[in-house]
């Protein structure tokens, strides 16, 4: 396994004044054996960045290193990486064994070693009983495990995952997330995983890179990103429902946006007065949506409470109090975090 170093990595399409820059100077160090998730909305540049690491996209400027080698000019096959895509891309006429073994056969790996590698990967992924089956005889989750097995047998320095769970239903996504976590614990291979799904990012990442419009907004552990978001974008993107970002919160410092997560607002006898607009029941918890009472301000405030709490009536006025230690402040002009 190896580290991955990104130094001022830039991607442009086109040349001169008409060039469209889509990646804006990314700097990051992914450590040996680390599992890093690149997360952001569609079009933010996360897959483009991954494809540059893989060698499938040219680098316009900067350097990418895998281990101690700058790989800017190396072909994908020379980078010692293995990639798992959203599309399984299995050969339909081949068995599971042959799909997993194909790359090794092309590389002229000895037959006994091919069998040993495929059997080991199949055991890790619990697909040993399916080795003689064709892809059409497998479920979507099993096909994705075969695709991961095909990457494992390569024994690469780096795994690259490009939204591999997007084609699975919710239950299979949750199950496959657990399998990927187990896989990383067993193999310890440096991994980059791209997703737009914040749940995948929070549950899989040792550290995560939050992307927005080609810019890395924050790079940190899930706890750091959730509890100390660097910008209003990160605050609103990471978390469901998103953090409340309020321009007119009572007693807020001038020229700042006040951030408070819905679970850090308590319904109290006095405090911020809100008129209840909607209530959503979500099993073990409840979301209450309110707007400032007796005010022309149209800001929406979300409160998350336990299901056991009494639901407020629609149209009623409630009071909420933010937990002081959980209040965040952001510069109203730049959107960047203001430390207190």
Judge if 24 and 146 occupy the same domain.
yes
Is residue 90 within 8 Å of residue 101, measured between CB atoms? no
Judge if 132 and 9 occupy the same domain.
yes
Judge if 140 and 207 occupy the same domain.
yes
Query: Taking residues 119-123, what's their average pLDDT?
Result: 90
Report if residue 337 sits inside a domain.
no
Q: Which domain-ending residue is among 234, 253, 287?
A: 234
Residue 262 confidence (pLDDT): 97
Query: Taking residues 112-128, what's their average pLDDT?
Result: 91
Report if residue 185 sits inside a domain.
yes
Report if residue 39 sits inside a domain.
yes
Residues of the chain above pLDDT 70, percent:
99
Dihedral angle, C-alpha 56, 62, 68, 73, nearest 10 ° = 40
Report if residue 225 sits inside a domain.
yes
CB hemisphere CA count around 26 (13 angstroms): 37
What is the reported pTM? Answer: 0.90
Residues of the chain above pLDDT 90, percent:
72
What is the rounded distance in angstroms from the CA atom of residue 319 to the CA atom of residue 163?
Answer: 42
Residue 17 confidence (pLDDT): 80
Domain hosting 71: range is 4-234
pLDDT in tens, 291-331: 987 666 778 999 999 988 888 999 999 999 999 999 999 99
Judge if 204 and 262 occupy the same domain.
no
Residue 133 confidence (pLDDT): 95
- Model confidence at 209, pLDDT cuts 50, 70, 90, reads very high
Residue 298 confidence (pLDDT): 79
C-alpha closest to that of 195 among 44, 58, 90: 44
Judge if 251 and 210 occupy the same domain.
no
Judge if 220 and 279 occupy the same domain.
no
Q: What is the DSSP letter of 231?
A: B
Q: What is the DSSP letter of 18?
A: G
What is the rounded distance in angstroms from the CA atom of residue 172 to the CA atom of residue 141?
Answer: 6
pLDDT in tens, 154-201: 889 999 999 988 877 888 888 888 888 988 988 899 999 999 999 999
Report if residue 340 sits inside a domain.
no
Judge if 192 and 319 occupy the same domain.
no
Residue 136 confidence (pLDDT): 92
Judge if 219 and 252 occupy the same domain.
no
Number of domains in the chain: 2
What is the rounded distance in angstroms from the CA atom of residue 7 to the CA atom of residue 289?
Answer: 44
Residue 174 confidence (pLDDT): 86
Residue 50 confidence (pLDDT): 96
CB hemisphere CA count around 221 (13 angstroms): 4
Mean of all residue pLDDT scores within the chain = 92
- Residue 211 clears pLDDT 90, i.e. is over it: yes
Tell whether the torsion through CA atoms of 174, 220, 51 and 101 is positive or negative: negative
- Residue 1 clears pLDDT 70, i.e. is over it: no
Judge if 27 and 70 occupy the same domain.
yes
Q: 19: domain CATH number? A: 3.40.50.300
Judge if 148 and 126 occupy the same domain.
yes
């Amino acid at each position: 396994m190896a580290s991955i170093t990104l130094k001022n990595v830039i991607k442009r399409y086109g040349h001169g004044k008409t060039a469209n820059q889509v990646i804006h100077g990314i700097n990051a160090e992914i450590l040996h054996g680390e599992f890093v998730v690149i997360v952001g909305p569609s079009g933010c540049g996360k897959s483009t960045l991954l494809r540059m690491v893989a060698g499938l996209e040219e680098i316009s400027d900067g350097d990418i290193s895998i281990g101690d080698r700058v790989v800017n000019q190396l072909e994908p096959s020379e980078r010692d990486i293995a990639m798992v895509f959203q599309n399984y891309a299995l050969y339909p006429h081949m068995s599971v064994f042959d799909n997993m073994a194909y790359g090794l056969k092309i590389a002229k790996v000895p037959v006994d070693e091919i069998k040993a590698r495929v059997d080991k990967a199949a055991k890790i992924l619990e697909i040993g009983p399916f080795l003689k089956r064709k892809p059409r005889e497998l479920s979507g989750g099993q096909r994705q495990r075969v695709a991961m097995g095909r990457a494992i047998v390569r024994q690469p320095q780096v795994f690259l995952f490009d939204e591999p769970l997007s084609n699975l239903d919710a239950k299979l996504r949750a199950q496959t997330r657990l399998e990927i976590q187990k896989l990383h614990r067993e193999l310890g291979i440096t991994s980059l995983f791209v997703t737009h799904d914040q749940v995948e990012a929070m549950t899989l990442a040792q550290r995560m890179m939050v992307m927005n419009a080609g810019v890395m907004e924050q790079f940190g552990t899930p706890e750091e990103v959730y509890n100390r978001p660097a910008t209003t974008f990160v605050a609103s993107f990471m978390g469901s429902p998103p953090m409340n970002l309020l321009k007119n919160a009572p007693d807020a410092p001038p020229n700042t946006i006040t951030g408070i997560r819905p679970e850090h607002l308590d319904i109290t006898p006095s405090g911020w007065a809100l008129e209840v607009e909607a209530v959503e029941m979500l099993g073990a918890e409840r979301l209450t949506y309110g707007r400032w009472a007796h005010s022309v301000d149209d800001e929406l405030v979300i409160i998350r409470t336990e299901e056991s709490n009494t639901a407020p009536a629609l149209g009623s006025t409630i009071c909420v109090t933010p937990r002081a230690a959980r209040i965040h402040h952001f510069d109203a002009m730049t959107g960047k975090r203001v430390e207190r």
